[in-house]
Structure 1
Amino acid sequence: MEGISMEGRLDPVCDLARPLLDRQSVLSIRNDGMAEENGSQPHTLARVFTALVDFSNARLAYVPLDLMLGFFVAGVLKRFWYLYNIIGFMDNIALMTALYVRGTAERARQYRRNIVRYCQLTQVLVFRDLSMRCRKRFPTLDTVAAAGFMMPHEKENFDGIQYNYNKYFLPFNWAWALIYRARQEGLIESDYYVTILSEEVKKFRTDLAWLCNYDWVPLPMIYPTIVCLAVHTYFLVCVIARQYVEGSKFESDMIDMVFPFMTSIQFVLYMGWLKVAEALLNPWGLDDDDFETNVLIDRNLAMGLKIVDEGYGRTPELRKDAFWDDQWVPLYSEESAWEKKYSHHEGSLSHMKKNPPEALSAAVVFSEAQRVSDH
């Protein structure tokens, strides 16, 4: 995802707050006008309005806003974070492929590169069905092939299988077939290595399957609807309940303020909380906070091919390190030298010189009591 900026993030909340503040100000002005017109003689409408304010204020806590909003935001955030953790990175597959598929010949390079590319092809196919960004980039399978993720003969093989459901499994079948053939040709030295590499591919496939499952079964639409209704209803009642009126039973605890500061702060915080959950509810859209699937696809392919091809076999020559004959001394720059004194990893009592007398006497008493009980 791109860098997060707060510029413009509070604009929707402020836009929602303006009508609320306008209506509360109008009601406050009208209530003051009624009190001034009638002087000491309370008008019937004023009494009714005062009773309505008291009634609304006393029952405002009936809406469990903190509980509902807290559970909703926590659930949405947990779901969002889990999807991010299983979105799929190619590093482990590429590293294991480079480690276990040995050889510098063109045949070995083809095995390594195609195993990575087939796994990445499946991620592209999955993201096309989940992410609007990826769908706009790859509207058809022809565009996937044109981008190089699928060769023409592979697309013919892919299209040759008639199936009413998605065919995410097919590139994984190709990848596992290459692993098996590499073992048969001796490019993988052990069956155990085949198992390790296959498990990495399996984990990648399982994570993509969970992404599809979470997209298939989203949060019930009634859940965010009820929470949104509860928040808006709460502050609609606040327009009446937070009015200052003379003769109210809450008058002793209230101050006649022209601007409702506390209600405004509460509105911004609660409505902002709700907007956070709404922004994270569908991370596959086009918003700034949604998953950058196209960037991840490009990064995975570039990283994977670099690891298994140019990065393969480029281990530095084995030599003695710089600390071979001398004791290692940490080297700090002038700006960071002050950290050396305070960054030791040691226990909080490691510098205690001697035990307190109370601790020694207690230890002696305990030792004597233990000796007597043993005999």
Structure 2
Amino acid sequence: MHRLINSFDYYANQIPVIFILAVFVSYALYRWWCQVELIPQPDDVLVKLNAYLLNDDKTSRIKKKTIARYLILSQVLAFRLLSKKVAKRFPTMEVVVQSGLMTDQEFKIYDSLLCSSIQWQAPLHWVVNLLTEKVEIQSTSFKKSDESVTTDIGLRSIMEELGKYKDNLQQTFTYEWIKIPLIYTQVAALVVYTYFFLALIGHQTYTQKYDSYVPLLSILQFIFYVGWLKVAENVSHPFGDEDDDLELNVILDRNASVSVNLIDNLRENLPPLTEDELFDREMVCLPYTRESLKRKQHTPKCHVKVETRKVNPGDMLYTETTLVEEPQQRREKTLFGFGKVKQTLKF
């Protein structure tokens, strides 16, 4: 029995369970965080749209609100294909039309597209068409109103942000299509469960006078290893229907609310330009409350101590550096075929 326990304990220790589990968990968490960062927000597009589309007439306002609606619509169409939660919220395109994000005429154009892979991109192409029409967009140096604005610096800036918006959605689809290889997940699970199968016998104690009825350390080890394995398996599918999956519906509500307020409230309600209380002050110190003053951190300072001392001109030594190639028979060829460089000092 002692030999059997020692054998199982030896083979259990030979399994690199920590290494394999650490690599698997770190890679799964990295993919999960990359997908979180790829969730686009319309803020940058709409801020630049307000900066360059300066007209406040009804046509310009309709154009800006339509662009904001198209940005949210593209997210809804894309997230319906990615997230189960969004698919339950918008189960059919009729629900999308009833929500006000799409008109009946736009739905007919959307439904007529033969390629289903680009249907979610249709609203973004409609945004491009609206921007490239003959509209009034203020440039940094001049204003165009009678011709196309395809070369305008403002349009170029908006198109760059729109391209980032579209690329983020496209890369999110790529992460969803190309999963972590299934064999990788199976190997990680097999390593963990094989380790604990061997540890079930290998961790038995026979040298102690009093045996422990509860193997506390083995139980903790099982909780940690299997827990990390389950964490990696769960974060591999961030757009599922579990409680810990990403709440894309909340993000859609946030983006829709921000889009309306960026177009209307922030553009129309501007504070007057006045001299504030800090205008004439040479030194500005922001106030502290009594509670925050108690927790005030020490002022950061440089911890490197630099000693300075005077040096007489006669104590300074000037040298001249020259590069001399060695003879042909002693030359060592490098990657680029040059000879070895020798450094000599002349005094």
TM-score interval (norm. to shorter): 0.7 to 0.9
Gap change, CA 1:237 and 1:348, over 3 Å in 2: same
Gap change, CA 1:297 and 1:371, over 3 Å in 2: same
Q: How does 1:59-208 map to 2 (within 5 A)?
A: 59-181=11-133, 184-189=134-139, 191-208=152-169
The alpha-carbon deviation at position 370 of structure 1 amounts to 1.9
Distance 2:229 2:312 in 1: 59
Aligned residue number for residue 12 of structure 1: none
Runs of 4+ residues over 6 Å off in structure 1 = 372-375
- Asked whether the 8 Å contact 2:137–2:155 carries over to 1, the reply is no
Q: Which residue among 215, 224, 229 is the counterpart of 1:269?
A: 224
Distance 2:242 2:23 in 1: 24
Gap change, CA 1:330 and 1:164, over 3 Å in 2: closer
The alpha-carbon deviation at position 161 of structure 1 amounts to 2.7
Deviations 1:238-265 (A, max 9, x none): 11101112xxxxx48x973222121111
Structure 1 window deviating more from structure 2 (305-314 vs 141-150): it is 305-314
- Asked whether the 8 Å contact 2:137–2:154 carries over to 1, the reply is no
Note the residue ranges of structure 1 that are not aligned, 5 or more in a row. 1-48, 246-250
Counterpart of 1:195 in 2: which secondary structure?
helix
- Asked whether the 8 Å contact 1:88–1:208 carries over to 2, the reply is yes
Gap change, CA 1:255 and 1:102, over 3 Å in 2: farther
Deviations 1:321-355 (A, max 9, x none): 21122342332112122355x44344336xx8xx8
Is the counterpart of residue 319 in structure 1 residue 274 in structure 2? yes
Aligned residue number for residue 303 of structure 1: 258
Is the counterpart of residue 279 in structure 1 residue 229 in structure 2? no
- Asked whether the 8 Å contact 1:121–1:171 carries over to 2, the reply is yes
Counterpart of 1:318 in 2: which secondary structure?
coil
Distance 2:250 2:233 in 1: 23
Normalising by structure 2, report the TM-score: 0.82
- Asked whether the 8 Å contact 1:244–1:255 carries over to 2, the reply is no
Distance 2:293 2:16 in 1: 53
The alpha-carbon deviation at position 203 of structure 1 amounts to 0.3
Normalising by structure 1, report the TM-score: 0.76
Aligned residue number for residue 333 of structure 1: 289
Counterpart of 1:168 in 2: which secondary structure?
helix
Deviations 1:27-51 (A, max 9, x none): xxxxxxxxxxxxxxxxxxxxxx222
- RMSD across aligned positions (CA): 2.3
The higher relative CO (CA closer than 8 Å, separation ≥ 6) is in: 1
Structure 1 window deviating more from structure 2 (73-82 vs 254-263): it is 254-263
Aligned residue number for residue 16 of structure 1: none
Where is the strand percentage greater, Structure 1 or Structure 2?
2
Deviations 1:77-131 (A, max 9, x none): 0000000001111211121112111122111111111111112111111100010
Gap change, CA 1:242 and 1:313, over 3 Å in 2: same
Distance 1:178 1:233 in 2: 60
Aligned residues: 309
Where is the helix percentage greater, Structure 1 or Structure 2?
1
Aligned residue number for residue 4 of structure 2: 52
Deviations 1:143-174 (A, max 9, x none): 11111111111112212333354412211110
The alpha-carbon deviation at position 273 of structure 1 amounts to 1.0
Aligned residue number for residue 328 of structure 2: none
Aligned partner letter, 2:258:
M
Distance 2:318 2:106 in 1: 84
Counterpart of 1:256 in 2: which secondary structure?
coil
Counterpart of 2:102 in 1: which secondary structure?
coil
Aligned residue number for residue 209 of structure 1: 170
Aligned partner letter, 1:91:
D
